[in-house]
Structure 1
Amino acid sequence: MAYVERGRLDVIDGAFVVVDKNGVRTHLPVGGVGCLILEPGTRISHAAVVLAARAGCLLLWVGEAGVRLYAAGQPGGARSNRLLYQARLALDETARLKVVRKMYALRFGEEPPERRSIDQLRGIEGARVRAMYQNLARLHGVAWKGRNYDHQNWDASDIANRCLSAATAALYGICETAILAAGYAPAIGFLHSGKPQAFVYDIADIWKFETVVPMAFRIAATGPAQPEGEVRRACRDVFRKTNLLEKLIPAIDNVLAAGGLDMPKPPPEVQPIAFEDKGKIGDAGHRG
């Protein structure tokens, strides 16, 4: 996995390169990189997109530090074994419950109650999350009447809810980036279901109170004039400082491994990796 920011990606003399503003070329071994994350200021030629697709390299267009995911090319990659693995886990009721219990344990730092269904665990989580919001609001001296926002009338919400919505939107962006880079599907969730970003919500909920929610309340306490912009920039800085994206991919694998099913092996006719990545700069997820 590699990031590209403020440069032009092109194919020159048969090589996949990044050209900076001074015309300096940097060669990218696209055949050994599973995912290229394109941040603001990046342009890419048609030839570069074609070469990346043929090499099975996923292209992701994101905001700064992944606070938004705008588009993805060839999601799922050149191999389907991770998508099949995720689908098998979601369709197996026993495996799905194990995954949900693992998410609960990671989120709250303790094992969930025994003999509880997914619906029951969802209700327990909801009650605990509401209490956590209240505690954080009290800690930072923020007036809190509960989580309430309207996508159709954003400005009608209070400052705290606007800060929280901006923070969670940023977290959803980087989580969806990680899910796609790892070779999984954002729509196949476990605790959440039936939405295009169900798995994004699952993964984001694990990290929400560890990363963006306390920060959102701290910013809300200052009474910002432009809460969305301040929160987005703060999220960008935190994501970069903590290398959150690099932590998310192994965390996703860890969560799914709790289901206890083996990942299917890719069939022999799948697209092979272009060359052996001894330095481990490529991402194992996107191409298997």
Structure 2
Amino acid sequence: MSTVARRGASTPREVARVGDRLSFVYLERCVVHRDDNAITAEDAEGVTHIPSATIGTLLLGPGTRITHQAMSVLGDCGAAVVWVGEHGVRFYAGGRALTRSSALAEAQATVWANRRARLDVARAMYRLRFPDEDPSGRTRQELLGMEGRRVRDCYRAESLRTGVPWRRREFNRDDFTAGDPPNQGITAAAQCMYGVAHAVVAALGCSPALGFVHSGHERSFVLDIADLYKTEIGIPAAFDAAAEGPEDIAARTRRALRDRINKARLLDRCVRDVKDLLGYEGGSDGGADALDGDRVTLQSDHGVEVEGGRNHDTEVIW
């Protein structure tokens, strides 16, 4: 008799592409179960069914409990699961990759390990963020100065666009409510963007820790990728939410952010941008090309890779 526990793992070609999924789903104060190939969120208002294969990242907030079988189907579908703090503004833990290939991880490690190539990737990231400025030849300190000016100008521009008063960026790690509405919105938007970026980075099999602008943190590369879209998507969504009033700012920011992410097809863009930045030429379909399948090879001499699962004792590989 077939059981859920004996169900075979799906291959990358059998699951939804990262770029075709919902950007994120946020749940709090509920119990998450499994129902066939969907998950259910049960709270005081009833039960909501969510197709697991359509989720990019599931954000689990305070008061959530999730069953082993729910985690099993989410993992099989390649959905990232992120445990977050209240209002989704604190990251605690994350999940597994969608791809089963090391191709992008190796491409990332190759360019990261070379200091000159690492700087080239950082410049390419700033070129994506600020297309009207040329970062070629800029030092890292000059790049940081560019970023600071442009983000400050973005705050001012969004304040003028929405009519929301703006003083300065304020963030209290221990008290989300200490900031004014636009600051609360910016914090909520940033944390959601980190979750979305982490979902893409993990799904592609990249290392979250090997950053090119950020460094020294287990999610340095996640922060790099999320920041690519900060002034285009994250900050405007925060000011849109703040313009509607100070109540429930975090939830309204998440909704505004979700709408902007879907309209911009951000998951597709993230996948393409990560591959382009790392110089990966295997395609941009989110994991179906050379990233497909469970393929294990052995490294031999002269950069040659040979088939795994074989005894090579009598063979000479050139």
Q: What's the TM-score once normalised by structure 1's chain length?
A: 0.70
Of 101, 121, 141, which aligns to 1:79? 101
For residues 173 and 59 of structure 2, the distance between their equivalents in structure 1, rounded to whole angstroms, comes to: 25
SS in 1 for 2:80: strand
Of 81, 85, 97, which aligns to 1:61? 81
CA change 1:246–1:70 in 2 (3 A) is farther
Match for residue 104 of structure 1? 126
Computing the radius of gyration from Cα coordinates, the structure with the larger value is 2
Is the CA contact 2:194–2:223 (under 8 Å) kept in the aligned structure 1?
A: yes
Is the CA contact 2:99–2:287 (under 8 Å) kept in the aligned structure 1?
A: no
The Cα shift of 1:115 comes to: 2.6
Q: Which amino acid aligns with 2:72?
A: V
Is the CA contact 1:224–1:230 (under 8 Å) kept in the aligned structure 2?
A: no
Match for residue 147 of structure 1? 169
For residues 98 and 58 of structure 2, the distance between their equivalents in structure 1, rounded to whole angstroms, comes to: 20
SS in 2 for 1:8: strand
Structure 2: gaps (5+ residues): 1-14, 26-31, 42-51, 296-318
Match for residue 72 of structure 2? 49
Of 255, 258, 271, which aligns to 1:233? 255
Match for residue 225 of structure 2? 203
Larger deviation: 113-122 or 165-174? Answer: 113-122
SS in 1 for 2:34: strand
For residues 59 and 96 of structure 1, the distance between their equivalents in structure 2, rounded to whole angstroms, comes to: 29
Match for residue 132 of structure 1? 154
Q: Does 1:246 align with 2:272?
A: no
CA change 1:219–1:37 in 2 (3 A) is closer
Q: Which amino acid aligns with 1:8?
A: R
Match for residue 188 of structure 1? 210
Match for residue 197 of structure 2? 175
The Cα shift of 1:130 comes to: 1.2
Structure 1: gaps (5+ residues): 11-16, 22-27, 266-279
The Cα shift of 1:174 comes to: 0.7
Q: Which amino acid aligns with 1:101?
A: R
Of 28, 31, 34, which aligns to 1:8? 34
CA change 1:235–1:81 in 2 (3 A) is same
Identity of aligned residues (%): 33
Is the CA contact 1:212–1:235 (under 8 Å) kept in the aligned structure 2?
A: yes
CA change 1:230–1:124 in 2 (3 A) is same
Q: Does 1:165 align with 2:187?
A: yes
> What CA RMSD, in Å, does the superposition of the two structures yield over aligned residues?
3.9
SS in 1 for 2:210: coil
Larger deviation: 95-104 or 123-132? Answer: 123-132
The Cα shift of 1:89 comes to: 1.2
Larger deviation: 186-195 or 69-78? Answer: 69-78
Give aligned pairs, total: 247
